[in-house]
């Protein structure tokens, strides 16, 4: 049995990460699970939350990535995550994110039509999920 997995993270516009890793903690739609070498094949949808990638299992994650939906496919020593959106948490400025959440909440109250209100609420919900992942 191999000691690593080949991991790829793909967003709609590009390949975000490609590496040999020891484990990937996945936010599945039915609950979190960890994929390690020898894992049974699995396909699952993702819920908005943090995906943790471990170059070395047992320590801190080598990468923490917020994913907003998508799929994971794991089989034969390979893990592929197709994310609707993926944001590396190491690149986020928490203060800026808090400001964006407050502005998005204000946009929901200022919306004049149902369509504007729905879109503003979706933006607010997404930013709030991202802020929860950071904290």
- Which residue range(s) make up the domain with 56? 5-89
Q: Would you call 133 exposed, middle or buried from its count of C-beta atoms within 10 A (0-12, 13-18, 19+)?
A: buried
Q: Does 24 lie in the same domain as 80?
A: yes
- As for how many domains the chain has, the answer is 2
Strands 70-75 and 78-83: antiparallel
pLDDT, tens digit, 9 for 90 and up, residues 25-66: 999 999 999 999 999 999 999 988 889 999 998 889 999 998
22 versus 122: which is more confidently predicted?
22
| 85 and 27 co-located in one domain | yes
pTM: 0.79
110/56 Cα distance (integer angstroms): 48
Specify whether 72 is located in the same domain as 100.
no
Radius of gyration of the chain (CA): 17
Sequence length of the chain is: 135
């Amino acid at each position: 049995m191999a000691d690593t997995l080949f991991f790829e993270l793909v967003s709609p516009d590009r390949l975000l990460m490609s590496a040999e890793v020891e484990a990937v903690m996945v936010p599945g739609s039915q609950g979190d699970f960890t994929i390690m070498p020898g894992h049974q094949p699995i396909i699952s949808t993702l819920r908005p939350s943090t995906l943790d990638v471990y170059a070395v299992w047992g320590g801190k994650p080598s990468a923490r990535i917020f994913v907003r939906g998508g799929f994971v496919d794991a089989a034969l020593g390979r893990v592929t995550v197709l994310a609707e959106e993926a944001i590396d948490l190491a690149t986020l400025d928490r203060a800026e994110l808090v400001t964006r959440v407050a502005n998005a909440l204000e946009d929901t109250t200022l919306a004049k039509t149902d369509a504007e209100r729905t879109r503003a609420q979706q933006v607010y919900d997404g930013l709030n999920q991202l802020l929860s992942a950071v904290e």
